[in-house]
Amino acid sequence: MRTTHRRSFVVLATTATLTTLAGCASGAAGGTPATGGDPSAAATPAGGASTPTASAGGTSAGTYRDGTYSATGDYRSPGGEQKVQVKVTLADDVVTAVEVTPEPSDPTSQSYQQRFASGVAEQVVGKRLDEVHVDRVSGSSLTSQGFAAALAQIATDARG
Amino acid sequence: MHGAEVAFEAIGTAWRITTATPLPDATLDRVHATIAAYDRVWSRFRDDSVVRELARTGGTCTLPDHGGALLDLYDVLDERTHGAVTPLVGASLERLGYDAGYHLRASGPALPAPRTPVLRDGATITLAAPALLDVGAAGKGQLVDLVAAELRACGVGEYVVDAGGDLVHRGPDALRVGLQAPGDPTHVLGVVDVRDRALCGSAVDRRAWGDGLHHVVDARTGTPTRDVVATWVVADRAMDADGLATALFFADPDLLQDVVEHTYVRVHADGRARFALDLPGEVFS
């Protein structure tokens, strides 16, 4: 199966520490905080007494309530301390969406956060060369004559 | 650019130089002289090169000025990749069969690059012991830059210098470059518009020869990489784009961000891709 959605996110540097997701349910999807002060809204631990989410059915107890959670994280970049807001949408204990909003503290931080932001394609899909207008290609399998000749020799040896 | 084009084979790859008007013979002579001089210093594939001499004797030699810039970049990439990218990888490549005789067969177990101390003062290099240098990670890009510099010195203001897909563009109209799918020259994974900049790529299928052997080798182990299968980098200089394209096989893109200003695409063996959001182009997904 090909997933073709694309999303942007901020990749945290190796020194990053993202604070625990806590509180601040957006409520847009009836979200509840994963951990929070209100016991009625607390996530249900596996095997707990609380009712699992309806969509989890009776086969497995949901560990987290469905919903959208948000938190602010801090990490250290070459531009200094950075803050990012992270929103995570959970459904059936699966993260279905992640949205990261940089909260740059100054222009330098903003520059770093933009530069550190990456796009991700879950699955790249090739297009036929004749479907795409390009002036030329890069990554070509062009090889030198000597290289091609050597490969041909190997193929001959392999057959012999 | 729809103008004149010259095509030739040099340093083991196919070159195309596209210009608005045909290059005068004198300019083309300078281009070929630049390539020949570079080959004379850096080629692992000829006995009379400087790197072959260093591999026999070690010791000190003074490289052309461009050698200092090239080895400066290698120092940074070595540090960022924790030793995966180093010019000391020559013997590792030869062990895998990527040698002057194009044996293309491993002649023994993988050979990690030696930890030979390389002392340097600008373009003067001293090897504490004989070692075979290989600048394949960034050298071709640098040679593309040097050829472009010759063109500019000869008054050529618009050009595309393309050495087997590693290219530099200068002129008013952007060049649209397809990112060729590894192992499938009939498909592209994306497009990038290049204007007044360089684009270099590295893919493991380009020079691959059986049993997972290819030319992108981790110097720490002497074995080819497996996880990343193709990378492309757009930067001002082809040397930087070329070197970063190799380094992206071994280092997280974030760790390379501040080497020089650049954008990138990195494709993994499982089909995932990561790319700079400000990439001047598109990755198909």
Count of the separate structural domains present in chain B: 2
DSSP, collapsed to helix, strand or coil, labels residue A10 as strand
CA B199, CA B194: separation in Å to the nearest integer?
Answer: 7
**Would B31 be classed as within a structural domain?**
no
For the residues of A81-124, what is the DSSP string, one character each?
Answer: EEEEEEEEEEETTEEEEEEEEE--SSHHHHHHHHHHEEEEESS-
Q: How many CA atoms lie within 13 A of A4 on its CB side?
A: 4
**Would B7 be classed as within a structural domain?**
no
Q: Which of B127, B161, B190 is the last residue of a domain?
A: B127
> Are residues B157 and B275 located together in one domain of the fold?
yes
Q: Which of B76, B104, B127 is the last residue of a domain?
A: B127
Name every chain B residue with its beta carbon within 8 A of the beta carbon of A140.
164-165, 180, 185, 206
CA B124, CA B68: separation in Å to the nearest integer?
Answer: 8
pLDDT tens string A78-126 = 556 666 666 677 777 776 666 666 565 666 655 555 555 688 888 888 8
Q: To the nearest whole angstrom, how far is the Cα of B147 from the nearest Cα of chain A?
A: 18
Contact B271, B184 (CB under 8 A): no
Tokens, residue A58: 């009776």
| Least confident residue range of A12-26, A141-155, B4-18, B99-113 | A12-26
> Are residues B113 and B177 located together in one domain of the fold?
no
> Are residues B229 and B269 located together in one domain of the fold?
yes
Count of the separate structural domains present in chain A: 1
What is the residue range of A24's domain? 2-159
Reported pTM: 0.72
> Are residues B96 and B159 located together in one domain of the fold?
no
**Would B195 be classed as within a structural domain?**
yes
| Greatest mean pLDDT range, A42-51, A122-131, B81-90 | B81-90
Q: Is B272 on the interface with A (CB under 8 A)?
A: yes
* Cα-Cα-Cα-Cα dihedral sign, residues B13, B270, A127, A96: negative
What is the residue range of B247's domain? 139-283
> Are residues B146 and B258 located together in one domain of the fold?
yes
| Least confident residue range of B44-53, B173-182, B216-225, B260-269 | B216-225
**Would B45 be classed as within a structural domain?**
no
> Are residues B110 and B178 located together in one domain of the fold?
no
Query: Which helix (H) or strand (E) covers residue A150, if one does?
Result: helix A145-159
**Would B6 be classed as within a structural domain?**
no
Per DSSP, A14 falls in state T
Per DSSP, B104 falls in state -
> Are residues B101 and B148 located together in one domain of the fold?
no
Query: Which helix (H) or strand (E) covers residue A159, if one does?
Result: helix A145-159
Query: Residue B217 belongs to a domain with what CATH number?
Result: 3.10.520.10
Burial B140-175 (b: 16+ CB within 10 A, else e): bbbbbbbbbebbeeeebebbbbbbbbbbbbbbeebb
Burial class (CB in 10 A: 0-12, 13-18, 19+), B209: buried
pLDDT tens string A123-152 = 888 888 878 888 888 875 444 444 455 555
Give me the residue from B187, B230, B274 closest to A128, CB to CB: B187
**Would B273 be classed as within a structural domain?**
yes
Q: Is A151 on the interface with B (CB under 8 A)?
A: yes
